Structure 1
Amino acid sequence: MKRLLIVFHAPSDNTRKLRDGMQYAVEQCIQTDELGVQLLIKSPFDTTPDDVLAADAIILGTTENLGYMSGALKDFFDRCYYPVLEKKQGTPVAAVVRAGHDGTGTCNALKTILTGLRWRWVQEPLVCRGEWQEQFVLDCEELAQAMAYGLAEGMI
Protein backbone atom coordinates (compact mmCIF):
# COMPACT_ATOMS: atom_id res chain seq x y z
CA MET A 1 0.00 0.00 0.00
CA LYS A 2 1.40 3.39 -1.03
CA ARG A 3 0.96 6.39 1.25
CA LEU A 4 0.11 9.90 0.08
CA LEU A 5 0.77 12.56 2.71
CA ILE A 6 -0.89 15.96 2.44
CA VAL A 7 0.64 18.59 4.72
CA PHE A 8 -1.71 21.56 4.44
CA HIS A 9 -1.89 24.77 6.44
CA ALA A 10 -5.55 25.76 6.30
CA PRO A 11 -6.22 28.73 8.61
CA SER A 12 -9.30 30.06 6.78
CA ASP A 13 -12.60 28.76 5.45
CA ASN A 14 -11.31 29.04 1.88
CA THR A 15 -8.08 27.16 2.51
CA ARG A 16 -10.03 24.48 4.36
CA LYS A 17 -12.19 24.14 1.22
CA LEU A 18 -9.01 23.50 -0.79
CA ARG A 19 -7.73 20.91 1.67
CA ASP A 20 -11.12 19.22 2.04
CA GLY A 21 -11.59 19.13 -1.73
CA MET A 22 -8.28 17.32 -2.08
CA GLN A 23 -9.28 14.85 0.61
CA TYR A 24 -12.65 14.19 -1.02
CA ALA A 25 -11.11 13.72 -4.47
CA VAL A 26 -8.50 11.22 -3.29
CA GLU A 27 -10.98 9.30 -1.16
CA GLN A 28 -13.31 9.02 -4.17
CA CYS A 29 -10.46 7.63 -6.28
CA ILE A 30 -9.54 5.13 -3.57
CA GLN A 31 -13.13 3.93 -3.17
CA THR A 32 -14.19 3.99 -6.81
CA ASP A 33 -11.07 2.54 -8.39
CA GLU A 34 -9.81 0.61 -5.37
CA LEU A 35 -6.44 2.31 -5.57
CA GLY A 36 -3.77 0.87 -3.33
CA VAL A 37 -3.18 4.27 -1.76
CA GLN A 38 -3.55 5.32 1.84
CA LEU A 39 -4.23 9.01 2.46
CA LEU A 40 -2.96 10.93 5.46
CA ILE A 41 -3.78 14.64 5.85
CA LYS A 42 -2.15 16.62 8.62
CA SER A 43 -1.54 20.17 9.72
CA PRO A 44 2.10 21.21 9.37
CA PHE A 45 2.19 21.63 13.16
CA ASP A 46 1.13 18.00 13.68
CA THR A 47 3.28 16.41 10.98
CA THR A 48 6.34 14.57 12.28
CA PRO A 49 9.48 13.27 10.59
CA ASP A 50 8.00 9.77 10.97
CA ASP A 51 4.99 10.84 8.87
CA VAL A 52 7.35 12.02 6.13
CA LEU A 53 9.48 8.88 6.34
CA ALA A 54 6.36 6.73 5.89
CA ALA A 55 5.13 8.72 2.87
CA ASP A 56 5.64 7.69 -0.75
CA ALA A 57 4.55 11.08 -2.10
CA ILE A 58 3.72 14.44 -0.54
CA ILE A 59 1.48 17.39 -1.36
CA LEU A 60 2.24 20.61 0.50
CA GLY A 61 -0.35 23.34 0.98
CA THR A 62 0.28 26.84 2.25
CA THR A 63 -1.00 30.35 2.23
CA GLU A 64 1.16 33.19 0.98
CA ASN A 65 2.13 35.25 4.03
CA LEU A 66 4.12 38.43 3.42
CA GLY A 67 5.48 36.98 0.19
CA TYR A 68 6.55 33.73 1.88
CA MET A 69 5.09 30.39 2.96
CA SER A 70 3.06 30.21 6.15
CA GLY A 71 4.91 30.05 9.44
CA ALA A 72 3.23 26.70 10.02
CA LEU A 73 4.79 25.15 6.91
CA LYS A 74 8.16 26.73 7.74
CA ASP A 75 7.89 25.17 11.21
CA PHE A 76 7.25 21.78 9.55
CA PHE A 77 10.43 22.14 7.52
CA ASP A 78 12.42 23.34 10.54
CA ARG A 79 11.46 20.21 12.49
CA CYS A 80 11.57 17.65 9.69
CA TYR A 81 14.37 18.76 7.36
CA TYR A 82 17.39 17.08 8.92
CA PRO A 83 15.68 13.92 10.21
CA VAL A 84 14.48 13.07 6.66
CA LEU A 85 17.24 14.63 4.54
CA GLU A 86 19.27 11.52 3.77
CA LYS A 87 16.35 9.08 3.77
CA LYS A 88 13.75 10.69 1.51
CA GLN A 89 15.73 11.95 -1.48
CA GLY A 90 13.70 11.63 -4.68
CA THR A 91 10.33 11.81 -2.91
CA PRO A 92 7.66 12.99 -5.38
CA VAL A 93 6.16 16.29 -4.29
CA ALA A 94 3.60 18.84 -5.44
CA ALA A 95 2.45 22.06 -3.79
CA VAL A 96 -0.57 24.33 -3.58
CA VAL A 97 -0.13 28.01 -2.76
CA ARG A 98 -3.14 30.16 -1.92
CA ALA A 99 -1.84 33.60 -2.85
CA GLY A 100 -3.68 36.86 -2.52
CA HIS A 101 -1.00 38.40 -4.70
CA ASP A 102 1.34 36.51 -7.02
CA GLY A 103 2.83 33.65 -4.96
CA THR A 104 6.30 34.08 -6.46
CA GLY A 105 8.16 34.43 -3.17
CA THR A 106 6.36 31.44 -1.69
CA CYS A 107 7.10 29.25 -4.71
CA ASN A 108 10.75 30.31 -4.73
CA ALA A 109 11.10 29.49 -1.03
CA LEU A 110 9.49 26.07 -1.51
CA LYS A 111 11.72 25.31 -4.49
CA THR A 112 14.82 26.27 -2.51
CA ILE A 113 13.94 24.07 0.46
CA LEU A 114 12.84 21.13 -1.68
CA THR A 115 15.98 21.37 -3.78
CA GLY A 116 17.95 21.06 -0.54
CA LEU A 117 15.90 18.00 0.45
CA ARG A 118 16.39 16.64 -3.08
CA TRP A 119 12.68 15.92 -3.42
CA ARG A 120 11.34 15.58 -6.95
CA TRP A 121 8.70 17.98 -8.26
CA VAL A 122 6.04 16.14 -10.24
CA GLN A 123 4.55 19.41 -11.47
CA GLU A 124 5.04 23.12 -10.96
CA PRO A 125 3.36 24.50 -7.83
CA LEU A 126 -0.34 25.19 -8.26
CA VAL A 127 -0.84 28.84 -7.38
CA CYS A 128 -4.42 29.87 -6.60
CA ARG A 129 -3.92 33.60 -6.92
CA GLY A 130 -6.11 36.63 -6.55
CA GLU A 131 -9.68 36.86 -5.36
CA TRP A 132 -11.30 33.60 -4.25
CA GLN A 133 -12.70 31.42 -7.04
CA GLU A 134 -14.50 28.09 -6.68
CA GLN A 135 -12.30 26.87 -9.56
CA PHE A 136 -9.44 26.73 -7.04
CA VAL A 137 -11.13 23.77 -5.35
CA LEU A 138 -11.48 21.92 -8.65
CA ASP A 139 -7.83 22.59 -9.48
CA CYS A 140 -6.74 21.19 -6.11
CA GLU A 141 -8.96 18.14 -6.56
CA GLU A 142 -7.39 17.49 -9.95
CA LEU A 143 -3.87 17.79 -8.54
CA ALA A 144 -4.66 15.40 -5.68
CA GLN A 145 -6.26 12.85 -8.02
CA ALA A 146 -3.27 12.98 -10.36
CA MET A 147 -0.92 12.36 -7.43
CA ALA A 148 -3.03 9.44 -6.16
CA TYR A 149 -3.28 7.78 -9.57
CA GLY A 150 0.36 8.44 -10.37
CA LEU A 151 1.41 6.93 -7.07
CA ALA A 152 -0.87 3.90 -7.45
CA GLU A 153 0.36 3.21 -10.98
CA GLY A 154 4.03 3.72 -10.16
CA MET A 155 4.32 6.72 -12.48
CA ILE A 156 5.71 9.08 -9.84
Structure 2
Amino acid sequence: MATLLIVHHTPSPNCQAMFEAVVSGATAPGIEDVRVVRRSALSATASDVLEADAYLLGTPANLGYISGALKHFLDQVYYPCLDETRGRPFGYYVHGGNDVTGAVRAVEAITTGLGWRRAADAVTVTGEPSKDDLQACWELGAVLAAGLME
Protein backbone atom coordinates (compact mmCIF):
# COMPACT_ATOMS: atom_id res chain seq x y z
CA MET A 1 0.00 0.00 0.00
CA ALA A 2 1.34 3.42 -0.98
CA THR A 3 1.60 6.24 1.54
CA LEU A 4 0.84 9.93 1.09
CA LEU A 5 2.40 12.05 3.83
CA ILE A 6 0.65 15.35 4.52
CA VAL A 7 2.90 17.71 6.50
CA HIS A 8 1.20 20.91 7.56
CA HIS A 9 1.35 23.92 9.82
CA THR A 10 -2.21 24.92 10.57
CA PRO A 11 -2.30 27.87 12.98
CA SER A 12 -5.44 29.62 11.70
CA PRO A 13 -9.03 28.81 10.74
CA ASN A 14 -8.19 29.55 7.09
CA CYS A 15 -5.26 27.11 7.09
CA GLN A 16 -7.44 24.58 8.92
CA ALA A 17 -10.14 24.80 6.24
CA MET A 18 -7.54 24.25 3.51
CA PHE A 19 -5.99 21.33 5.40
CA GLU A 20 -9.38 19.68 5.91
CA ALA A 21 -10.20 20.06 2.20
CA VAL A 22 -6.86 18.47 1.22
CA VAL A 23 -7.44 15.54 3.58
CA SER A 24 -10.99 15.11 2.30
CA GLY A 25 -9.74 14.90 -1.28
CA ALA A 26 -6.93 12.50 -0.37
CA THR A 27 -9.35 10.17 1.43
CA ALA A 28 -12.29 10.51 -0.98
CA PRO A 29 -14.34 7.49 -2.06
CA GLY A 30 -12.60 5.88 -4.99
CA ILE A 31 -9.12 6.44 -3.55
CA GLU A 32 -8.02 2.92 -2.74
CA ASP A 33 -4.86 1.31 -1.43
CA VAL A 34 -3.41 4.64 -0.34
CA ARG A 35 -2.63 5.30 3.30
CA VAL A 36 -2.85 8.99 4.19
CA VAL A 37 -0.60 10.01 7.08
CA ARG A 38 -1.10 13.45 8.60
CA ARG A 39 1.68 15.08 10.59
CA SER A 40 2.06 18.55 11.96
CA ALA A 41 5.27 20.14 10.72
CA LEU A 42 6.75 20.12 14.22
CA SER A 43 6.15 16.40 14.73
CA ALA A 44 6.99 15.00 11.28
CA THR A 45 10.31 13.18 11.03
CA ALA A 46 12.78 11.92 8.46
CA SER A 47 11.39 8.43 9.07
CA ASP A 48 7.93 9.67 8.06
CA VAL A 49 9.40 11.05 4.84
CA LEU A 50 11.40 7.93 4.04
CA GLU A 51 8.34 5.71 4.60
CA ALA A 52 6.10 7.78 2.30
CA ASP A 53 5.75 7.58 -1.46
CA ALA A 54 4.51 11.16 -2.01
CA TYR A 55 4.23 14.37 -0.03
CA LEU A 56 1.73 17.16 0.40
CA LEU A 57 2.96 20.26 2.23
CA GLY A 58 0.79 22.98 3.73
CA THR A 59 1.93 26.28 5.20
CA PRO A 60 0.88 29.79 5.95
CA ALA A 61 2.96 32.60 4.48
CA ASN A 62 4.58 34.22 7.50
CA LEU A 63 6.57 37.43 7.09
CA GLY A 64 7.06 36.69 3.39
CA TYR A 65 8.25 33.10 3.89
CA ILE A 66 7.03 29.62 4.81
CA SER A 67 6.17 29.06 8.46
CA GLY A 68 9.02 28.45 10.84
CA ALA A 69 7.46 25.07 11.63
CA LEU A 70 7.58 23.91 7.99
CA LYS A 71 11.09 25.32 7.60
CA HIS A 72 12.18 23.40 10.69
CA PHE A 73 10.69 20.19 9.26
CA LEU A 74 12.40 20.66 5.90
CA ASP A 75 15.73 21.48 7.58
CA GLN A 76 15.48 18.31 9.69
CA VAL A 77 14.69 15.98 6.77
CA TYR A 78 16.78 17.55 4.00
CA TYR A 79 20.04 15.63 4.29
CA PRO A 80 18.68 12.36 5.75
CA CYS A 81 16.16 12.13 2.89
CA LEU A 82 18.05 13.78 0.03
CA ASP A 83 19.21 10.73 -1.90
CA GLU A 84 16.43 8.32 -0.91
CA THR A 85 13.46 10.48 -1.94
CA ARG A 86 14.71 12.07 -5.16
CA GLY A 87 12.04 11.98 -7.87
CA ARG A 88 9.09 11.40 -5.55
CA PRO A 89 5.89 13.35 -6.27
CA PHE A 90 4.71 16.22 -4.11
CA GLY A 91 2.22 19.05 -4.00
CA TYR A 92 1.62 21.99 -1.71
CA TYR A 93 -0.74 24.72 -0.61
CA VAL A 94 0.02 28.14 0.88
CA HIS A 95 -2.26 30.59 2.65
CA GLY A 96 -1.40 34.23 3.21
CA GLY A 97 -3.07 37.39 4.37
CA ASN A 98 -2.06 39.38 1.30
CA ASP A 99 0.98 37.82 -0.40
CA VAL A 100 2.37 34.31 -0.76
CA THR A 101 5.18 34.97 -3.25
CA GLY A 102 8.08 34.42 -0.85
CA ALA A 103 6.54 31.26 0.63
CA VAL A 104 5.94 29.81 -2.83
CA ARG A 105 9.51 30.61 -3.83
CA ALA A 106 10.82 28.90 -0.67
CA VAL A 107 8.80 25.70 -1.17
CA GLU A 108 9.84 25.53 -4.83
CA ALA A 109 13.53 26.09 -4.01
CA ILE A 110 13.69 23.55 -1.19
CA THR A 111 11.77 20.83 -3.04
CA THR A 112 13.89 21.42 -6.13
CA GLY A 113 16.95 20.88 -3.95
CA LEU A 114 15.44 17.65 -2.65
CA GLY A 115 14.77 16.56 -6.22
CA TRP A 116 11.07 16.07 -5.61
CA ARG A 117 8.75 16.20 -8.64
CA ARG A 118 5.71 18.48 -8.44
CA ALA A 119 2.74 16.30 -9.37
CA ALA A 120 0.02 18.96 -9.20
CA ASP A 121 -0.33 22.71 -9.38
CA ALA A 122 0.12 24.49 -6.08
CA VAL A 123 -2.90 26.03 -4.40
CA THR A 124 -2.20 29.56 -3.21
CA VAL A 125 -4.80 31.60 -1.37
CA THR A 126 -4.78 35.09 0.09
CA GLY A 127 -7.50 36.12 2.47
CA GLU A 128 -10.40 33.88 3.37
CA PRO A 129 -10.51 30.76 1.16
CA SER A 130 -13.43 30.78 -1.24
CA LYS A 131 -15.49 27.74 -2.17
CA ASP A 132 -13.37 27.46 -5.34
CA ASP A 133 -10.16 27.66 -3.28
CA LEU A 134 -11.34 24.83 -1.04
CA GLN A 135 -12.35 22.81 -4.09
CA ALA A 136 -8.83 23.32 -5.47
CA CYS A 137 -7.44 22.03 -2.16
CA TRP A 138 -9.74 18.99 -2.35
CA GLU A 139 -8.52 18.34 -5.90
CA LEU A 140 -4.89 18.72 -4.79
CA GLY A 141 -5.35 16.00 -2.17
CA ALA A 142 -7.25 13.78 -4.60
CA VAL A 143 -4.67 14.14 -7.38
CA LEU A 144 -1.73 13.29 -5.10
CA ALA A 145 -3.51 10.29 -3.59
CA ALA A 146 -4.89 9.01 -6.91
CA GLY A 147 -1.41 9.21 -8.41
CA LEU A 148 -0.32 6.57 -5.89
CA MET A 149 -3.05 4.06 -6.68
CA GLU A 150 -1.80 0.89 -8.33
TM-score with structure 2 setting the length: 0.93
Greater share of helix: 1
Fraction of identical pairs, as percent? 39
**Alignment partner, residue 4 of structure 1:** 4
**Alignment partner, residue 147 of structure 1:** 144
1:102–1:130 Cα contact (<8 Å) kept: no
2:94–2:123 Cα contact (<8 Å) kept: yes
Supply the RMSD in Å over aligned alpha carbons. 1.4
Task: Return the alpha-carbon distance in structure 1 between the equivalents of residues 149 and 6 of structure 2.
Answer: 16
Task: Return the alpha-carbon distance in structure 1 between the equivalents of residues 106 and 117 of structure 2.
Answer: 15
Deviation at 1:133, TM superposition (A): 2.3
1:7–1:59 Cα contact (<8 Å) kept: yes
Deviation at 1:67, TM superposition (A): 0.7
Task: Return the alpha-carbon distance in structure 2 between the equivalents of residues 59 and 134 of structure 1.
Answer: 20
Task: Return the alpha-carbon distance in structure 1 between the equivalents of residues 105 and 25 of structure 2.
Answer: 27
2:120–2:144 Cα contact (<8 Å) kept: no
Question: What is the correspondence of 1:7-156 to structure 2 with a 5 Å cutoff?
Answer: 7-28=7-28, 32-33=29-30, 35-153=32-150
Deviation at 1:68, TM superposition (A): 0.3
Structure 2 unaligned residues grouped into runs of 5+: none
Q: Secondary structure at the match of 2:148?
A: helix
Q: Structure 1, residues 90-145: CA drift from partner, whole Å, max 9, x if none?
A: 01011100022231111111111111111111133211123442332221111101
Q: Secondary structure at the match of 1:41?
A: strand
Structure 1 unaligned residues grouped into runs of 5+: none
1:8–1:43 Cα contact (<8 Å) kept: yes
Aligned residues: 150
Deviation at 1:34, TM superposition (A): 5.5
Task: Return the alpha-carbon distance in structure 1 between the equivalents of residues 2 and 123 of structure 2.
Answer: 23
Task: Return the alpha-carbon distance in structure 2 between the equivalents of residues 34 and 133 of structure 1.
Answer: 25
Q: Structure 2 vs 1, CA of residues 89 and 66 (structure 1 numbering), >3 Å: closer, same or farther?
A: same
